[in-house]
């Protein structure tokens, strides 16, 4: 009987860890274009000591009009390649909820604007609601988790 309890406990812990990991923004996400509803880029979100950062792994669009550098950025990212660029900084979990904000910032490398950001995993962690704020105004995107 104790063998059964050990296996059950191990499976329960494994399942709960997987569910928790899915309800975190940590992982790889496809950002979705607001206008075309197509995948734009892959963003890798990482956790370092409870603070999340995110980098552009790759762009998913081709063409002569696709920006390759952040010419509009105003900080150290100015004129730097977008692929490999850190666009999410300082994101922290708020309370015990699955809300991540804590004064974090997100950069739109296409226009160089930086926004205060709030992220909430939804749909069992398959999607990520990403909301960028400037004052009382905001824009919301839904990103898809890359499996």
Q: What is the pLDDT of residue 15?
A: 41
Over the stretch 53-88, which tens digit does the pLDDT of each residue have?
Answer: 999 999 999 888 889 999 999 999 999 999 999 999
Whole-number percent of the chain with pLDDT over 70:
85
Q: How confident is the model at residue 6 (pLDDT cuts 50, 70, 90)?
A: very low
Report the CATH number at residue 78: 2.40.128.520
> What is the model's pTM?
0.82
Number of domains within the chain: 1
Are the C-beta atoms of 24 and 47 separated by less than 8 Å?
yes
Provide the mean pLDDT of the chain.
87
Say what the pLDDT of residue 62 is.
87
Instruction: Write down the pLDDT at residue 147.
Output: 85
Domain of 68 in residue numbering reads as 2-145
Examine the pLDDT at 21 and tell me if it is beyond 90: no
> Who has greater pLDDT, 21 or 85?
85
What is the Cα–Cα distance from 141 to 4, expressed in whole angstroms?
45
Q: What pLDDT is stored for residue 29 in this prediction?
A: 98
pLDDT for 110-137, tens place per residue? 999 999 999 999 999 999 999 999 999 9
């Amino acid at each position: 009987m104790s063998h059964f309890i050990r296996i059950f406990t191990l499976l329960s812990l494994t399942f709960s860890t997987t569910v928790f990991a899915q309800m975190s923004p940590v992982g790889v996400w496809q950002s979705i274009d607001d206008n075309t509803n197509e995948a734009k880029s892959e963003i890798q979100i990482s956790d370092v000591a409870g603070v999340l950062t995110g980098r552009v792994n790759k762009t998913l669009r081709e063409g002569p009009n696709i920006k390759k550098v952040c010419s509009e950025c105003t900080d150290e990212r100015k004129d730097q390649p977008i692929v490999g660029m850190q666009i999410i900084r300082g994101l922290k979990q708020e309370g015990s909820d699955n809300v991540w904000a804590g004064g974090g910032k997100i950069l739109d490398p296409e226009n160089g604007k930086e926004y205060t950001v709030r992220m909430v995993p939804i749909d069992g962690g398959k999607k990520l609601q990403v909301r960028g704020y400037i004052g009382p105004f905001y824009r919301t995107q839904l990103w898809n988790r890359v499996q």
